[in-house]
Amino acid sequence: MHTAGRESVAQGVARVSTLDASPDSFAVPGFDAVVRLISRSLDVPLVSLVLSGGSAYWFANGAELPTHDTRGLHPLYLEAARSLHPHIVPDTLLDERFRGAALNLAAAPGPIRFFASEPVCTLTGQQIGALCVMDVKPREALTEGERMSLRDAASLIGAGVVLRSYLGRTDPVTQLPHRFAFFDDLRRQLHDGAPHAWVIAIDVAPVQRFNAFIRAMGHAYADELLRAVANRALAWIPPGTHLYQVGATRFAAVLPAQHLIDETDRLDDLVAQLRRPFDCLGIPLTIQPGVGLLQIDERQLRGGDPLRLVMNASHAAQRSIRGWAVYDHRQDDQQRQDFFLVTELAAALTERAELDLHYQPRVDLNSGRCVSVEALARWHHPTLGTIPPSLFVGLAERAGLMHSLTQWVLEHGIAQLADWRRQGHDFRLSLNVSSTDLDADLVGRVCQVAEQHKIGLDALELEFTESTLMEHSATNRRHLTTLRQLGAGIAIDDFGTGYSNLAALRQMPATSLKIDQSFVRDMGASRHDEAIVRSVAELGRSLGFRVVVEGVETSHLYDSVLGMACDEAQGFHIARPMPAEELPDWLARQSGLPSRQASRA
């Protein structure tokens, strides 16, 4: 073996040695029986289980070699332990990878000439190492029956490793104790008289990002990354402190009872260490770690779940600049409330009659006539009462429920419009659409519901926020153009609060521009806001948009927009959002609003 190769292997073994159990503690159930079977079946004197971390457990003629027997690992062992493919080397002296330096083992009477390996995986397909067989004599390639025997032996060992991990409370990839051991040790420390303990949790990366690592690079790469992160954490925690793997991408430790929060420099150093790039299997990667902290005493431990609490902090830390955070019960209470609301909203969308639509009219300023109503979702929870849209719509977007909520609004809003049309009312329906719904599927969904209720798309207007329309404008433009070609109106909602990208605005196939109410409400007190509304209205009119003014809440504001280049108005002065059954009465009474036609007359 070349010196450089030996040094690199030694460094690798040193790097992972803290994660691998010592040979004395490694006892896979039935491993010795599997070794004897494979030795007789393949007629090989030497068998080894090499773990991905670098540890190796050796057997000669079916007997385990002494644990004090020192041996260096040739790179081929590590290559086999981290590869999902079997290796067969009939004669190491004839293989260019060895360059005349064959594998050496102290227990063998001479250099190892024959080498074969088979990946060892857990029942979930997670690779943990390789089963290697060796001989001091060169051999021909294995027969199909011998290969099958080697594969079966590797499968038995994989199942044994899982069983050993379950019984020994260790993770099969990192060989770290898992959460059952964490809880036992935490209880023991608090029962031994410590007034409290600091629990620290380290999240490697958000789950979606970690899954992206696996999709792009494979499980072997992700396993190596976990081991590398664990080693940096082990180098940081105090001597004698155990590190536990308490989740697929999460580590935890119980730290001494001193006031850790006073040592902020040490926490900053830990985050800095974790943010440095990791070199995994020769490919560098930067993670998005989060370090959470929780102080707990024995009373809080009884009936509590410290891992859930500290995970709350580590999750918040992943989104912070500093990268670490202390558990905040107020934030936790809010997250629990949000989770409860999300589950209740999902049930309301599928099972219960708690959701409703209110409709807010828009009037044409030339005629004073109602030309459109905007559908607005309302939620009346049976125990919590009315949940404001500003809360549940945001939750629906974050929880992936926006698609279902939009579909519910489409179906109920268009069905109601069809009912009004049968009663003789002639106005359009305006529907708010989230950025998560702006895709090719939206076109088909709108068409399907409209066709079901015999409503032409020219009776519909879809409202998108300015920010949504300006994001990925080329893709969005294609979907919007299709909707426009089918007759639907497109409104740019909340204009003035987003990017205000005029170059993109002129290319958007929109029909209406809605000036945000935040500018309109203060027009009476701010000449700047009045100038903004007047200028935006003139710009929108010049670009060919129908200009709609939101937030018209007083007669003075209504009179002001009558004198501007505005086409429609919406706001509490005209009408508040109302249930569907109240709209016909409002329409019957709606005749006293000033209009430009009346003013000219």
**Residues 412-431: what's their mean pLDDT?**
95
The pLDDT tens digits for 46-68 are: 888 888 777 778 888 777 776 53
pLDDT at 124 over 80: no
Question: Could you give the percent of the chain with pLDDT greater than 90?
Answer: 30
Give the count of beta carbons closer than 10 Å to the beta carbon of residue 475.
12
pLDDT higher for 369 or 174?
Answer: 369
Residue 83 CB burial class (10 angstroms; 0-12, 13-18, ≥19): middle
Question: Please, are residues 323 and 305 in contact by the beta-carbon 8 Å criterion?
Answer: no
Homologous superfamily (CATH) of 358-596 is EAL domain (3.20.20.450)
Task: Look up the CATH number of domain 179-327.
Answer: 3.30.70.270
- Partners of 155 in beta bridges: none
Question: Please, are residues 48 and 132 in contact by the beta-carbon 8 Å criterion?
Answer: yes
pLDDT at 498 over 90: no
The pLDDT tens digits for 268-307 are: 999 999 999 998 878 888 888 999 998 887 777 766 788 8
Range 3-168: architecture per CATH = 2-Layer Sandwich (3.30)
Question: Please, are residues 493 and 465 in contact by the beta-carbon 8 Å criterion?
Answer: yes
Q: How confident is the model at residue 582 (pLDDT cuts 50, 70, 90)?
A: very high
pLDDT at 170 over 90: no
**Residues 242-252: what's their mean pLDDT?**
90
Q: How confident is the model at residue 490 (pLDDT cuts 50, 70, 90)?
A: very high
Measured on CA atoms in the order 302, 307, 310, 312, is the torsion positive or negative?
A: negative
Look at residues 79, 76, 51 and name the one whose alpha carbon lies nearest to residue 1. 76
**Residues 537-547: what's their mean pLDDT?**
90
pLDDT at 428 over 70: yes
Give the best-scoring range by mean pLDDT among 166-170, 178-182, 200-204: 200-204
Question: Please, are residues 228 and 274 in contact by the beta-carbon 8 Å criterion?
Answer: no
Domain residue extents for the chain: 3-168, 179-327, 358-596
- Partners of 376 in beta bridges: 358
Question: Please, are residues 423 and 584 in contact by the beta-carbon 8 Å criterion?
Answer: yes
